[in-house]
Structure 1
Amino acid sequence: METGAGAIAAWVPDPAELRRRVARGRGLVVVLDETVTMEAATAAARTLRVALQPDMAVFASLPVSDVDADPPESVRYHGATWYLYPHGEHCQFENSASGEVVEANIYAPDLVDPYFLLQYAKTSGRHGAIVDSCAEGFHDMCRLLDHAGIAQG
């Protein structure tokens, strides 16, 4: 299949199939054959970003079996340096220039943690209404997620 960014690899579901399989608020993990290189997976993710709707995010990541490997100290993403701070089952990613913080459960990245989500809202500078709605911090974020029907982890 051709898109504006090039051909989508045969081992990746087509964009229409991905849209059908992804429900609101849910992620979809496409498990790739272990022979697929990280470079090929990243290239496929870039191509899918062009083909899919703007409300769908696509990224390539290491297979779960590689999660316990030592991560790099930093990565470059969209022209910015992000520092990685793994701890337990979580990893914190901090943008060195903006101070934006994203934290995720590395074994279950689709789980939403109310504290980490609020931390992101505060540090991103783009979600003032959410921060203002959470005068009680973590507890208000839990209530907002419950009201939205989003499972917490």
Structure 2
Amino acid sequence: MGEGRRSVVFDGVPPAEEVRRSVVRGRHAVVRLNAATEMPTVSRLATALRSELARDDLLVLASPGDPPTIRVIRLVDEHEAHECRAELETLVADFRRLARRLVGRFRAEVAPDWEREEPDAGRIEVDGAEWWLSPHGEHCRFEHLGSGHVVEADVMRPEAVDPGFLLLFAESSGGYAKVRAACAEGFHDMCRMLELAGVTGTAG
């Protein structure tokens, strides 16, 4: 076993209790497997370890590589998520409200010009504020030209909440300090907090 700044490294799969003790917030457990181990086997070992750990705040990820690894991450616990619940609900409501306004303006006024490649189609004004925009696939990235605040929204379902996009919205706003602090593991913590809060309409 070796220990790094953000991880404890095991060569081979150790007992689940040893893994459980080694993983704290901000420090992962990384299980290195034999380089010849095929991915289906890695996945089976990860599933077995997940079952033995039997904790819903421990995330177990199987990864290919040389060597393949299993990473165990401790996520935000229920108490901390509860402490952030009101702010998370405000964050989701703020995101949905602004996403609907931006997407509504985009679809009504900008999308036709964008399709014709008009020169002014890359910007939009909402409530006196100017936003730069970049459509891509089913989404559009809106960025406030003054503050850099980013809204990445589904142009067909602006109310849809993607954990990664919601975290970007919070981080680029400079607000929602409790939620941002709780997301030490970024996307993974945001996924867990949304699940614990029972937030629906999450984009898959």
Change (3 A) 1:103 1:63: closer
Q: Indicate the percent of aligned positions where both proteins have the same amino acid.
A: 43
- The alignment status of 1:69 with 2:118, answered yes or no, reads no
Structure 1 length normalisation: TM-score? 0.56
Paired position in structure 2 for 1:79: 128
Q: In proportion to residue count, which structure has more helix?
A: 2
**Unaligned segments of structure 2, at least 5 residues:** 1-88, 90-95, 115-120
- The alignment status of 1:141 with 2:141, answered yes or no, reads no
Shift of 1:75: 1.2
Structure 2 length normalisation: TM-score? 0.43
RMSD: 2.9
Shift of 1:67: 8.9
Q: In proportion to residue count, which structure has more strand?
A: 2
Shift of 1:62: 6.1
Opposite residue 120 of structure 1, the aligned amino acid is F
Deviations 1:14-47 (A, max 9, x none): xxxxxxxxxxx8xxxxxxxxxxxxxxxxxxxxxx
**Unaligned segments of structure 1, at least 5 residues:** 1-24, 26-55
Deviations 1:36-89 (A, max 9, x none): xxxxxxxxxxxxxxxxxxxx9584826979996344211122332100110110
The structure whose Rg is larger is 2
Paired position in structure 1 for 2:166: 117
Aligned length: 99
Shift of 1:110: 1.6
Paired position in structure 1 for 2:149: 100
Paired position in structure 2 for 1:129: 178
Shift of 1:99: 0.6
| Runs of 4+ displaced beyond 4 Å | 56-60, 62-68
Opposite residue 128 of structure 2, the aligned amino acid is G
CA distance, structure 1, for counterparts of residue 107 and residue 170 of structure 2: 27
Return the structure number with greater relative CO, CA threshold 8 A, min gap 6: 2
Opposite residue 133 of structure 1, the aligned amino acid is A
CA distance, structure 2, for counterparts of residue 105 and residue 83 of structure 1: 16
CA distance, structure 2, for counterparts of residue 79 and residue 63 of structure 1: 15
